[in-house]
């Protein structure tokens, strides 16, 4: 046995008797962690002459990168689109609770709201690392208010806006600031949307097309201007038509910039999208699917009346409706439920289902150098699952933060 002297005095943990998701396949290999990152064991053995301080027997379970939810509106009674005296406390509560779903990073999502709400809420939700206190906040997702009135879904019509000036002025006037924003969903067919898309992209903010009446050429133009995501594919957009497939056509478009791919969100809750539609999308563009919960504040609560932003929501079974209507308003599914349903509905591999909730959202947000993989040097954010894909343990920075 080599001596336990190494470059760093930090303890080393070796996870044994496991199958780890690496290079798109499950491999029977140990996982090594030090100082919150995945460690290269060869360098440890041969360069540092080091060994493990602790060993964790995983009982032949799967280790996969932690799940990343880029569209979650709240949960457990917390509504991210409501200004309150304890916004940070509400976000922290949800961050803590979603650890049990395998989520290690997320984007708190604000639905269409009046400017006063954005100005109050956005500065309060800070980007921060995760840990025992909860999943990491990797930036806000602002879904609206620059969306189509016709495809607003559950978004309140009175707060929907157009780009009157174009560019950054409309964005700043509405949102107040963009420092903590990771993604903005907008309708690309709106007048003056081009400079807004270009400005957001220049600032490193992902632009998503959604809640939109755009045809395919308008959607393609948005991608040329920097858009890289589709918000909840099939929902709140023109339905597929064989003469103009609309936004859905981006999945197989041959008019996108060279080397560019478009990611698309899927709410795989068994309600928002028919299993056949999940299969069509997945088979058309398997490397672009990003599983999202689109969870509303009622997630984790009993049936009854709740809120989402400025709307009243009625929970009936697994359905979340705008009160008094049959309009779906997000989901009450959890991420681990979505991973399981997606695999069952599409017949995809276990690896593909897990990457749709980890690698792909990390790639979308430009974080795959440290999130969404178990590559050497990546953040040691991961989940331990059994063969039914039930989450048994969640780790952030190599530290166990939740156990079933």
Phi, psi of 169 (to 5 degrees): -60, -45
Mean pLDDT in the chain? 93
Higher-pLDDT residue of 6 and 333 is 333
DSSP letter, residue 12: E
Instruction: Note whether 384 and 345 are within 8 A (CB).
Output: no
Helix residue ranges per DSSP H, 225-358: 275-284, 335-346, 350-356
Q: Where in the chain is the domain with CATH 3.20.20.140?
A: 67-364
Instruction: Tell me what pLDDT residue 7 has.
Output: 60
Instruction: Note whether 292 and 108 are within 8 A (CB).
Output: no
pLDDT in tens, 192-214: 999 999 999 999 999 999 999 99
How is the beta sheet containing 304-308 ordered, strand by strand? 304-308, 311-316, 319-322
Question: Of the candidates 59, 95, 71, which has an alpha carbon nearest to the alpha carbon of residue 385?
Answer: 59
Q: Which two tokens stand for residue 98?
A: 């979603």
Asked if the model's pLDDT at residue 310 lies above 70, the reply is: yes
Q: How far apart are CA 11 and CA 52, in angstroms?
A: 8
Q: How far apart are CA 129 and CA 139, in angstroms?
A: 11
User: Which residues carry a binding-site annotation?
Assistant: 143, 154, 211, 232, 235-236, 243, 272, 328-330
Instruction: Tell me what pLDDT residue 4 has.
Output: 47
- Write the CA distances from 23 to 20, 27, 102, 340, 385, integer angstroms: 10, 9, 20, 21, 18
Mean pLDDT value of segment 6-26: 91
Burial of 388 (0-12, 13-18, 19+ CB in 10 A): exposed
Percent of residues in the chain assigned helix, strand, coil, to nearest 5 = 25, 30, 45
The pLDDT confidence band at residue 3, using thresholds 50, 70 and 90, is: very low
Mean pLDDT value of segment 45-58: 89
Asked if the model's pLDDT at residue 318 lies above 70, the reply is: no
Phi, psi of 365 (to 5 degrees): -95, 5
396 - beta bridge partners? 399
Q: How far apart are CA 87 and CA 203, in angstroms?
A: 25
Instruction: Note whether 22 and 375 are within 8 A (CB).
Output: yes
The pLDDT confidence band at residue 326, using thresholds 50, 70 and 90, is: confident
Q: Which residues are catalytic?
A: 294
- Using DSSP, state whether 339 is helix, strand or coil: helix
Asked if the model's pLDDT at residue 5 lies above 50, the reply is: no
Q: Which residues neighbour 217 within 8 Å (Cβ) at sequence distance 6 or greater?
A: none
User: Which residues carry a binding-site annotation for Zn(2+)?
Assistant: 143, 211, 232
The pLDDT confidence band at residue 47, using thresholds 50, 70 and 90, is: confident
Asked if the model's pLDDT at residue 125 lies above 80, the reply is: yes
The pLDDT confidence band at residue 230, using thresholds 50, 70 and 90, is: very high
Q: How far apart are CA 328 and CA 316, in angstroms?
A: 11
Mean pLDDT value of segment 245-263: 95
CATH class of segment(s) 67-364: alpha beta
pTM: 0.94
User: Which residues carry a binding-site annotation for substrate?
Assistant: 154, 235-236, 243, 272, 328-330
Q: Which two tokens stand for residue 282?
A: 């997945």
How many CB atoms are closer than 10 A to CB 191? 9
Asked if the model's pLDDT at residue 69 lies above 70, the reply is: yes
Instruction: Tell me what pLDDT residue 2 has.
Output: 41
pLDDT in tens, 267-278: 999 888 999 999
Instruction: Tell me what pLDDT residue 270 has.
Output: 86
Q: How far apart are CA 28 and CA 26, in angstroms?
A: 7
pLDDT in tens, 154-183: 899 999 999 987 778 999 999 999 999 999
Q: How far apart are CA 235 and CA 269, in angstroms?
A: 13
How many CB atoms are closer than 10 A to CB 1? 5
CATH class of segment(s) 12-65+376-403: mainly beta
Instruction: Note whether 379 and 370 are within 8 A (CB).
Output: yes
């Amino acid at each position: 046995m080599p001596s336990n002297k190494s470059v760093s005095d930090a303890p080393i943990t070796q996870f044994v008797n496991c199958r780890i998701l690496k290079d798109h396949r499950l491999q029977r290999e140990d996982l090594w962690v030090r100082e919150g990152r995945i460690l290269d064991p060869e360098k440890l053995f041969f360069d540092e002459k080091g060994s493990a301080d602790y060993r964790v027997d995983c009982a032949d379970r799967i280790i996969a990168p932690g799940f990343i939810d880029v569209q979650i509106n709240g949960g457990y009674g917390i509504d991210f689109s409501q200004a309150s005296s304890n916004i940070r406390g509400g976000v922290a509560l949800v961050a803590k609770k979603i650890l049990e779903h395998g989520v290690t990073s997320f984007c708190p999502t604000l639905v269409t709201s009046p400017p006063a709400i954005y100005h109050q809420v956005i500065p309060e939700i800070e980007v921060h690392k995760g840990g025992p206190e909860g999943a990491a906040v990797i930036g806000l997702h602002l879904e609206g208010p620059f969306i189509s009135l016709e495809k607003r879904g559950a978004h309140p019509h009175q707060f929907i806006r157009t780009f009157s000036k174009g560019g950054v002025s409309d964005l700043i006037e509405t949102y107040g600031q963009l420092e903590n924003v990771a993604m903005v969903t907008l309708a690309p067919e709106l007048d003056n949307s081009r400079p807004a898309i270009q400005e957001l992209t220049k600032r490193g903010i992902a632009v998503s097309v959604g809640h939109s009446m755009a045809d395919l050429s308008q959607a393609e133009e948005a991608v040329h201007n920097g858009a890289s995501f589709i918000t909840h594919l099939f929902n709140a957009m023109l339905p597929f038509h064989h003469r103009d497939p609309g936004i859905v056509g981006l999945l197989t478009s041959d008019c996108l910039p060279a080397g560019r791919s478009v990611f698309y969100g899927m709410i795989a809750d068994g309600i928002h999208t028919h299993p056949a539609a999940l299969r069509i999308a997945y088979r058309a563009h398997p490397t672009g699917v990003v599983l999202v919960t689109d969870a509303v504040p009622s997630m984790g609560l009993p049936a009854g009346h709740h809120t989402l932003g400025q709307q009243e929501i009625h929970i009936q079974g697994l359905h979340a409706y705008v009160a008094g209507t049959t309009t779906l308003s997000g989901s009450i599914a959890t991420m681990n439920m979505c991973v399981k349903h997606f695999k069952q509905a599409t017949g995809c591999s276990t690896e593909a289902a897990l990457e749709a909730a980890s690698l792909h959202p990390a790639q979308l947000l430009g974080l795959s150098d440290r999130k969404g993989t178990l590559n050497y040097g990546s953040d040691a954010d991961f989940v331990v699952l059994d063969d039914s894909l039930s989450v048994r343990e969640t780790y952030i920075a190599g530290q166990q933060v939740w156990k079933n």
